Amino acid sequence: MNGRWFALAAAVALLAGVPWFGNAVLIQFGINALLIAVLAQSWNILGGFAGYVSFGNSVFYGLGSYGVAIAMAQWNLPFWVGLIFAATIAVAFAALLGWPILRLRGPYFAIVTLGISAAMSALAANLDIAGKNVGLILPLTRNDTLFYEASLVLLAAATLTVAWIARSRFGMALIAIREDEDAAASVGVNATRFKIAALAMAAFFTAIAGGIHAYWITYIDPAGSFDTTLDVRMVIMTMFGGPGTILGPVVGALVLSAIYEVLADSISKAAALFFGIVILVAVIFLPRGLVDLGGGFRALRWRYFLTNIRQYRI
């Protein structure tokens, strides 16, 4: 155990030190990668642990972005107040919306979130409240290092939360729901309440990530904030890295972000295609994600990749 803790601490220290030995491009890549890792980790709470796949978490990201933007650009409040405001809206939205839609079972919930994401996107492009569809401009603060470290701290907070979930009674409830929701109910788990709590937690971190991003890029518009490609990426990164694990989403996000960066230089648009193929491959060959690959490969060698197929093919 000690070895792993040390390695983890070293990794975090390394990540924290990037602004000092990396160039501007690396820092910017870092901010984006860290923020998407937060999204993946947040998604992991409901999606990985409880098994409820949401295709609509980008809504919370958008609410977070606009929450901070409205607070800072229109009400002249400081950043941290904006973040609190943004997080509150997102959590309230999660609780309100979650109450009817989290009574639904997995696949129904998934499609409803798909619909909500699509509807929110369309709505955001047409509503007037947030700056007449021209977007909002936030006060400028040029300090990439600050945003980088803030993103890292947020990721650490999200990951620590997931670590707590993995060891707590709350986490056991979510896992029970994922494994067998009927059996969980018969054992005394109030599934709806736990699911809503999980969604609220996901909304919290996702919104703050959106807020940090908004302040960083200074200008937001509906299309960029309620961005459905984020949904695609956070789902794929978590499923690829290892759903229901503590580090899976982080690993998945950082690895895939890095690969995407590299590919984006050589084959521009096709790199986006890459994500789709990743999940196709991952669902068939890597059902437990990258994080499980180490141990699984050691035990079964190449047969590891066939276990999923052998069990579920027709």
277 binds another protein (CB under 8 A): yes
**Contact code string over 46-85 relative to another protein, x by CB under 8 A:** -----x-x-x------------------------------
Pick 12 or 114: Cβ nearer another protein: 114
298 binds another protein (CB under 8 A): no
Minimal distance, residue 111 CB to another protein, in Å = 5
35 binds another protein (CB under 8 A): no
284 binds another protein (CB under 8 A): yes
260 binds another protein (CB under 8 A): no
118 binds another protein (CB under 8 A): yes
129 binds another protein (CB under 8 A): no
The per-residue DSSP string of the chain comes to -HHHHHHHHHHHHHHHHHHHHS-HHHHHHHHHHHHHHHHHHHHIIIIIIS----S-THHHHHHHHHHHHIIIIIT---HHHHHHHHHHHHHHHHHHHHHHHTTS-HHHHHHHHHHHHHHHHHHHHH-STTTTTS-EEPPP---HHHHHHHHHHHHHHHHHHHHHHHHSHHHHHHHHHHH-HHHHHHHT--HHHHHHHHHHHHHHHHHHHHHHHHHHH-EE-HHHHS-HHHHHHHHHHHHHH-TTSSSHHHHHHHHHHHHHHHHHHHSTTHHHHHHHHHHHHHHHH-TT-GGGHHHHHHHHGGGGGGHHHHHH--
Burial classification of residue 41, based on how many CB atoms lie within 10 Å of its CB (0-12 exposed, 13-18 middle, 19 or more buried): buried
Q: Which of residues 188-247 bind another protein (CB under 8 A)?
A: 188-191, 228, 232, 235-236, 239
Scanning 1-9, 161-169, 195-203, 214-222 for contacts with another protein by CB under 8 A, the matching segment is 161-169
Pick 188 or 294: Cβ nearer another protein: 188
Select the residue interacting with another protein from 83, 176, 251, 256 (CB under 8 A).
Answer: 176
40 binds another protein (CB under 8 A): no
Q: Which of residues 12-31 bind another protein (CB under 8 A)?
A: none
Select the residue interacting with another protein from 6, 283, 295, 297 (CB under 8 A).
Answer: 283
168 binds another protein (CB under 8 A): yes
Cβ atoms of 60 and 94 closer than 8 Å: yes
Query: Residues in the site for another protein, rule: CB under 8 A?
Result: 51, 53, 55, 100-101, 103-108, 110-112, 114-116, 118-119, 122-123, 126, 167-169, 172-173, 175-176, 179-180, 182-191, 228, 232, 235-236, 239, 269-270, 272-273, 275-280, 283-284, 287, 308-309, 311-314
